[in-house]
Amino acid sequence: MDNRTPPGRHDLPHLVLCHNRAMKPATRTKMRVAAILAGAVAFITFRGLSASPAVVEAWYASSVGPFLASFLSRATGWIPISLLEIILALFVFRQLHGIAWGLSMMRLGEWKPAAALGRGLFRLASDLGLVVAIFYVVWGFNYARSPLEVRQGWDGKQAGAEELTVLALDMVDAANEEYLAIHESEDAGAATDEVLDRRDLTASIEKGWRQAARLLNEPWLERSFGRPKPLLASRALDYLGIAGIYFPFTGEANFNGGAPPESLPRVLGHEMAHQRGYAREDEANFMGFLSAALSPDPWPRYSAAVFAQRQLVNALAQASPDRARAMVQRRLPGVHRDITESDAYWARFAGPMNDAAQSVNNAYLKSQKVPGGVLSYARSVELMVSWSRSHEGALPRSGVVPR
């Protein structure tokens, strides 16, 4: 018995289907090659622009970059949850689906293992090429900007013990002052909790950003951006030692919703700094401090002062351990509790996952030509010194900037 389908009207759809299948792989291959080339061109362009920061500042950092970041941020800001987790999950699912498809094709004998591996790597390379191309266009070229201290004409290097002592003392006293304004007591008996609604907190820090825009003469900082969002996977971030993440593909500033409230305003300021084109971590640290310090409310100013004193005291400890200890002893008991409990919180999650995340971040930052990789976070103390030298030897305190 012949079980073949008789010739006739059933053959035409079969032939069309085969024709489509023959065409699709060729088209898909061209698209994947194009994606790989786009990523390579974007990375090479970034490297080239790194040698011409003035060009980046003129055509990207003060116009195209802020526009794209603001547009994406506002377009996604109405969504109550972060798209980072959804997009990341979809990306991982796509890669796992590709692996499953390759394994099934090998099991059916359609592909040999070497061919399956080659196809899989080609597919992954095209995905990553597209990601890299989009990354640089919407935000990544900010890494090629001139450093903030160069743009502002500052010099914060070679700060001695005397200068660090003055600044550390001022920030310790500022934190004490803001703590008293919040609690009306030198020791509230418990760690400082969230004082403002998060929406109000964001609005308060945005007022600080408007002041910073005028002080630094960078008016694009006043653009409207979507508000920061807590991540659902905040506990996972704890184990990775991450307090916040900026997702350039959607313009979202994300934060760890479980982190100690003492640091929350400054963390929001840090991620909002990334939104506004400050790619380097020392600059995001400093601008996060500045926007919170210029806030009209005591909680953001407290968070800023605590952060600044910790960085300054750590720097002072290398020059004069005795003076650094004196700064620690000058803290109010409640301030000291907030700091020690924050340290204890993060210490609970120290381990291999934290170490791995630090290594990945270090490699990423170095690939973007950030000197020192993760060590750049601590260099924001140089920016604080730079700022103070241009403002009567002081940092912002109680929302007031020395002239």
Residue-wise pLDDT tens digits, 301-340:
999 999 999 999 999 999 899 999 999 999 999 999 999 9
Q: Which residues of 119-144 are buried (b: 16+ CB within 10 A; e: fewer)?
A: ebeebebbbebbebbbbbbbbbbbbb
pLDDT at 21 exceeding the cut of 70: no
* Low-confidence winner among 211-220, 250-259, 275-284, 298-307 (lowest mean pLDDT): 211-220
23 — pLDDT class (breaks 50, 70, 90): very low
pLDDT for residue 4: 42
Q: What is the mean pLDDT of the chain?
A: 89
- Reported for 121-127, long-range contacts at CB under 8 A and 24+ positions apart, including other chains, are 122/32, 123/32, 123/98, 124/95, 124/98, 125/32, 125/36, 126/31, 126/32, 126/33, 126/35, 126/36, 127/35, 127/91, 127/94, 127/95
- Reported for 36-40, long-range contacts at CB under 8 A and 24+ positions apart, including other chains, are 36/125, 36/126, 36/129, 37/129, 38/129, 38/130, 38/132, 38/133, 39/128, 39/129, 39/130, 39/131, 39/132, 39/133, 40/129
Provide, rounded to the nearest whole percent, the portion of the chain with pLDDT above 70. 94
3-state secondary structure at position 106: helix
Residue 245 DSSP class: E
pLDDT for residue 16: 38
| C-alpha closest to that of 335 among 171, 165, 191, 168 | 191
Q: Read off the pLDDT of residues 162-201 as tens digits, 9 standing for 90 and up.
A: 999 999 999 999 999 999 999 999 999 999 999 899 999 9
Q: Read off the pLDDT of residues 338-377 as tens digits, 9 standing for 90 and up.
A: 999 999 999 999 989 888 888 888 888 888 877 777 777 8
Residue 174: exposure state from Cβ atoms within 10 A (0-12, 13-18, ≥19): buried
12 — pLDDT class (breaks 50, 70, 90): very low
C-alpha–C-alpha distance, residues 345 and 340, integer Å:
9
Q: Read off the pLDDT of residues 27-81 as tens digits, 9 standing for 90 and up.
A: 889 999 999 999 999 999 999 999 999 999 989 998 899 999 999 999 999 999 9
Chain centroid to CA 239: 17
pLDDT at 160 exceeding the cut of 80: yes
Gyration radius of the chain over CA positions: 26
* Low-confidence winner among 108-117, 172-181, 259-268 (lowest mean pLDDT): 108-117
